[in-house]
């Protein structure tokens, strides 16, 4: 085990890795309930309704299998699950474009995943990451830190839509708000006292505190049966006997939609990898993520497999940074998380008691850790500073990793052009900026 995972070299132990894997799982566990709720939304009438039991199975097995593969292949504490945002696009826009056929909707995900995988295998995705200026890499890390913290605060109802303002402070009397605050305080206390597993302990304290407050609900059951009816979705047929994959490949509109999903997946993972690498200690001084090629290969394959399983696009999860911050340093953390997801497929009702408010402290604390990259950006230099600012502000204010990165890339090209520093723009940055312009107009 030591020879494969290099635990001693990375300053870790088996116990530390397993604990970090549990922390990551608990931070991500909400997806087990949320993803089926989005894909099975009754307000989006599908041609053939997807059984909720099948969506739970697909979500758990898809996340489990791809996270285990990430641990084995990339050997980093990176975890995968169905991506929020993309699943909403699939449940709404894609459902409309496919005439309500969920087989075709999942085929769109499968096609975009295969396309991204080809780009990785040809080295394009890694070359784009290498072409990103160091200042922008640090900005992505800072932006992700704020984004992660914001996710935690929103999940706990501490940040809510305002009355006449985009956002506002939530109601202190709201039990969910109170559980979120307890999670932050507990995590902070454990971290300040340098208690091992401070993030995991913060989650557990919040779950327990949520019982008398009515936030941690009683499970509706313990064991759930597995339902594999969504597996091989792209190759299943509609009532007319047409496979979902056939519909996509023969419809230019659906192919364009797949490109839109690909852009989101393409750059979200870049940002997420940076977010996990920082606390996981596999980010170099110049902002490069170690083992990035292996991470991108598994992530790209996961996108395709998400469509195959019927779980929407599976991608690297930014919440995995909680496990990295809790001591995860190798693929053993990811393997532990993946095994827990597979076990959860049988015990989904029980796992559902870990509410999103309970993970608020973990995400806010990870956001704090990632702010240290601010000092690595030369804010006095407009070529470095302004695009970096656009990334930091854009990721958080648009609530989208890819949108924020796109705003920063385009800003970098514009500033370099007007300041006569075109030579600093690498060819792949030109391509990425141009692709983002197309992507934004397609939105």
Where exactly are the structural domains of the chain?
Answer: 8-134+221-355
Residues 6+ apart with CB under 8 A from 359: 26, 27, 30, 152, 155, 183, 203, 206, 319, 322
Buried b (16+ CB within 10 A) or exposed e, 376-408: bbeeeeebbbbbbbbbbbbbbbeebbbbbbbbb
Strands (E), 4-93: 80-82
Lowest average pLDDT, out of 3-12, 31-40, 165-174, goes to 31-40
- State the average pLDDT over residues 180-190: 95
Give the SS3 label for residue 4: helix
Identify the pLDDT of residue 159: 94
DSSP 151-191: HHHHHTTSEE--SSSS-EE--TT-HHHHHHHHHHHHHHHHH
Cα(174)–Cα(160) distance, integer angstroms = 12
Q: Determine phi and psi for 237, rounding to 5 degrees.
A: -110, 155
Q: Give the global pTM.
A: 0.80
Identify the pLDDT of residue 13: 95
Cα(212)–Cα(178) distance, integer angstroms = 11
Within a 13 Å sphere around the CA of 306, how many CA atoms are in the beta-carbon half? 34
Identify the band that residue 367 occupies on the pLDDT scale cut at 50, 70 and 90. confident
Identify the pLDDT of residue 95: 66
pLDDT tens per residue, range 262-301: 877 877 888 889 889 989 999 887 778 899 999 999 999 9
pLDDT tens per residue, range 126-160: 888 788 898 998 898 888 889 888 988 998 999 99
């Amino acid at each position: 085990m030591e020879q494969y995972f290099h635990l001693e070299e990375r300053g870790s132990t088996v116990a530390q890795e397993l604990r970090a894997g549990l922390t990551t799982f608990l931070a991500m566990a909400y997806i087990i309930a949320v993803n089926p709720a989005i894909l099975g939304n009754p307000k989006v009438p599908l041609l053939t309704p997807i059984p909720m039991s099948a969506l739970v199975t697909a979500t758990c097995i898809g996340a489990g299998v791809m996270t285990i593969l990430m641990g084995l292949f990339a050997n980093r504490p990176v975890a995968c699950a169905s991506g929020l945002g993309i699943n909403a696009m699939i449940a709404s826009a894609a459902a409309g474009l496919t005439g309500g056929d969920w087989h075709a909707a999942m085929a769109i995900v499968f096609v975009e995943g295969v396309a991204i995988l080809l780009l990785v295998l040809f080295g394009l995705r890694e070359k784009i990451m290498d072409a990103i200026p160091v200042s922008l890499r640090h900005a992505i890390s800072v932006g992700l830190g704020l984004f992660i913290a914001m996710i935690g605060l929103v999940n706990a109802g501490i940040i809510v839509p305002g009355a006449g303002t985009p956002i506002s402070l939530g109601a202190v009397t709201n039990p969910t708000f109170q559980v979120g605050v307890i999670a932050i305080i507990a995590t902070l206390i454990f971290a300040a006292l340098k208690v091992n597993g401070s993030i995991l302990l913060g989650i557990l304290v919040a779950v327990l505190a949520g019982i008398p407050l009515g936030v941690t609900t009683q499970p509706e059951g313990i064991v759930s049966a597995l339902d594999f009816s969504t597996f091989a979705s792209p190759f299943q047929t509609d009532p007319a006997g047409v496979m979902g994959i056939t519909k996509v490949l023969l419809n230019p509109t659906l192919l364009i939609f797949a490109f839109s999903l690909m852009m989101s997946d393409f750059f979200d993972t870049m940002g997420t990898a940076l977010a996990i690498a920082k606390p996981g200690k596999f980010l170099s001084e110049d902002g490069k993520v170690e083992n990035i090629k292996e991470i991108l290969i598994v992530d790209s394959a996961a996108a395709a497999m998400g469509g195959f399983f019927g779980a929407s696009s599976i991608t690297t999860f930014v919440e995995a940074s909680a496990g990295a911050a809790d001591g995860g340093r190798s693929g053993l953390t990811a393997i532990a998380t993946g095994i827990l997801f597979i076990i959860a497929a049988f015990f989904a009702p029980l796992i559902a008691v870990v509410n999103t408010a309970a993970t608020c402290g973990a995400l806010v604390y990870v956001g704090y850790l990632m702010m240290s990259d601010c000092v690595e950006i030369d804010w006095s230099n407009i070529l470095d500073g302004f695009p970096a600012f656009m990334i930091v502000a854009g990721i958080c204010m648009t609530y989208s990793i890819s949108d924020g990165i796109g705003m920063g890339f385009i800003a970098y090209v514009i500033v370099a052009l007007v300041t006569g520093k075109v030579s600093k723009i690498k060819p792949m940055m030109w391509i990425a900026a141009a692709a983002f312009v197309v992507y934004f107009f397609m939105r």
